[in-house]
Amino acid sequence: MRLILPLFLFGMLVTSCIDNNYDLSEIDTDGVVIGDEFRLPLATVTVSMGELSKEGTDIKALFDEADIWLPSPLPAGGKYVDLQKIQHTPSYIDELLDELIEQMKRSDAKINAVADLLYDKYLGTFLPLLPPNTDPKDFKQVFITMFRATTGLQEELAGEVRDLAGGYLTDLKIEDVTYDLGRIDLGSDVVDMLADNRDSGAIFQDRTIYEDAHIFADNLHEMGLMASRDIETYMKLFRLMTTLIPKPDLLIYLKASVPTLISQIRMRGREYEMNIDELYLKRLNDKYNNWIDNIYEGDVLVVDKDHEDFVSDPTVLEKICARLDALENR
Q: Which amino acid is at 203?
A: I
Q: Is residue 212 flagged as an active site residue?
A: yes
**Exposure string (b/e) for 212-244, b if CB count within 10 Å is 16 or more?**
bbbbbbbbbbeeebbeeeebeebeebbeebeee
Helix (H) or strand (E) holding 112: helix 108-121
How many Cβ atoms sit within 10 Å of the Cβ of residue 36? 14
The separation between CA 207 and the C-alpha centre of its own chain, rounded to angstroms, equals 20
Q: Which of the following is catalytic: 23, 163, 180, 212?
A: 212
H helix intervals, 42-107: 59-69, 83-88, 90-106
DSSP one-letter code for 253: E
Element spanning 285, H or E = helix 278-290
Q: Indicate which residues carry an active-site annotation.
A: 212
